[in-house]
């Protein structure tokens, strides 16, 4: 269960990484938001079907995690105090919706064997 909670918190921290976005991020902010929105779509896939979510999220993670983390770290380094008002205004609702999608799927599928296996198999650190 601790591992699953760790994944849940990791998912939240990835979304919060947008909080590191501020003026000067330029294309990195847009690229990060594109990936973050695609990640949310992967977590939304399959509705209540955790096996379908596992496939969708696993495919997304295998393809995009490295770039996502790279952009996340870049934005965190550039803006350690969080997003400026203009970024919050532009992306705030999207960030909330993306976070809700990820959190909802994590909570719904945390005890599903296929979902848990996918999370273990695609874990990076």
CA distance 118 to 60: 11
CA distance 119 to 106: 10
**pLDDT, tens digit, 9 for 90 and up, residues 63-92:** 999 999 999 999 888 888 887 888 889 999
Q: What is the pTM of this model?
A: 0.77
- The residue count for the chain: 125
Query: How many domains does the chain contain in total?
Result: 1
Q: What is the pLDDT of residue 2?
A: 52
Instruction: Provide the domain limits for residue 113.
Output: 2-121
| Residue whose token pair is 């949310």 | 40
Asked if 101 and 43 touch (Cβ cutoff 8 Å), the reply is yes
Alpha-carbon distance values, 89 to 78, 84, 96 (Å):
19, 9, 12
For 23-28, what is the mean pLDDT?
65
Asked if 20 and 82 touch (Cβ cutoff 8 Å), the reply is yes
**pLDDT, tens digit, 9 for 90 and up, residues 94-123:** 999 999 999 999 999 999 999 999 999 998
């Amino acid at each position: 269960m601790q591992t699953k909670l760790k994944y849940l918190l990791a998912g939240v921290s990835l979304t919060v990484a947008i909080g590191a976005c501020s003026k000067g991020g330029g294309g990195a902010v847009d690229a990060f938001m594109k990936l973050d929105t695609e990640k949310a779509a992967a977590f939304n896939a399959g509705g209540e079907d955790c096996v379908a979510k596992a496939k969708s999220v696993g495919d997304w993670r295998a393809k995009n995690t490295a770039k996502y983390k790279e952009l996340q770290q870049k934005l965190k380094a550039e803006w350690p105090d969080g997003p400026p008002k203009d970024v919050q205004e532009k992306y705030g609702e999207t960030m909330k919706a993306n976070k809700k999608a990820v959190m909802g799927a994590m909570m719904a599928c945390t005890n599903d064997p296929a979902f848990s296996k996918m999370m273990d198999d695609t874990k990076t650190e």
